[in-house]
Every structure is written in structure tokens, then in C-alpha cells.
Homo-oligomer: A and B are copies of this chain.
Amino acid sequence: MNENMNTSTIRGPLDHEIRDQIISAATEHFSHYGYEKTTVSDLAKAIGFSKAYIYKFFESKQAIGAVICTNRLAMIMEIVDAAIAGAPTASEKLRCLFRSISEAGSDLFFHDRKLYDIAAVASRDQWPSAVAHQVRIRAIIQQILLDGRASGEFERKTPLDEATKAIFLIILPYVNPAQLQYNLDTAPEAAVHLPALILRSLAP
């Protein structure tokens, strides 16, 4: 599935506006009634557009879901990036990463709006936005390690790839919304204990 396929019919600013309107209404609708249970007909009825009109802008329900998922993940990344940018040291950046990723994920997929099932489908079916999100998280971890190694906060013996992968595996259950649903209760304490253990492993 290619999330860019649905852009083929964009022609100008007006089309763009209508697409945004559909996405916004679909986000509302899915967050109330769920993504899996809703059809494009339901959605068309709720928005007050014809089904054919919606298909002019999005080739499928999945194409709409993909844009919503991409938007949510972009919001999560904004929150994470801002949290990390404000941290003075590599150690603190690592703590911020754990705290912000699970808080933002909990809020944006579970509490704020119930868009969990889009996220679950996205991660089950490996939608490009979900894959790209994980690649970005892994890159952030590697950059924090490089910063900490340069400043002398972290040891330099362990191969960088190995340390990056291990930390990524530890954070993954809080990044992937399909897994996060099982960890919502423990996420706040995990955001304290996991970076603390990792930082002990990184001590020079």
C-alpha cells in the first residue's frame, strides 16, 4: 500500500481544502465509531458528501486512514522532537524520549481520540508511515548515543549499531500503538525505570 497514491487527483488549492475537510471529518468519525467498523458509505453519509465524491479524492478507506495515521504520527514526532531539543544532555534526551513517546502515544491514540484501531491496522499491515516512524525513532536513539559518546557521558566500547538496536527494542512496545495498549498502565513507571537501566548500561 502506497500512501502517496491518493495524491494523484490533487489539482489545486480547492482540492487540497476539500481533502483536508474529508480528513478532518473522517478523523472525528473514526474516533467515535472506530476505523475497522466504518465503511466509506457511512463516512459519506456522516460528512454529507456522496460516496463517489469522496472517491474522487481518496481511492479507498485505507487511503484516508493512512493520512490520519501519518498526521497522528507527525504530531507525536513534533512532541518528541520538542522534548528532546529542550534537554541539555544526552542522558536527559534519552529520558525525554521515553517520557514523551509514551505520553504522546497514549494521548493521541487512546485518550484524546480513540484512533487506536487505525494505528493497530497500520502497524499490523506495516503501512509506510508506521515503518517510517520506527526508522525515525531509531535514528533519534543513534543520534543521542553519538552525542553522549562525543560529550563523554556514554561509554564507546559497545558497537554503536548494537547499542542502538537494543535501546530501540526496549522502547518499541511504547512506540507501536498496537503494543502500547497493553502497556498503558505501566507506561509512566516504565518511562522512569527503563531509561535509568539503559543509562547504567551506557556509563563509561
Contact = CB atoms under 8 A, between A and B. Distances in A.
A23 interface: no
A201 interface: yes
A197 B193 contact: no
Nearest to A170: B170
Nearest to A164: B193
Interface in A148-165: 158, 162-163, 165
Contacts of A176: 182
A189 B164 CA distance: 13
Interface size grouping (class) on chain A: 20 to 34
A75 interface: no
A194 B178 CA distance: 21
Contacts of A128: none
Contact of A201 (B169, B172, B189, B197): B197
A6 interface: no
B182 A166 contact: no
Nearest to A202: B200
Most chain B beta-carbon neighbours within 10 Å: one of A166, A179, A196:
A166
A178 B180 CA distance: 11
10 contacts: A158-B200, A162-B193, A162-B196, A166-B197, A167-B197, A169-B190, A169-B193, A179-B179, A197-B198, A198-B201
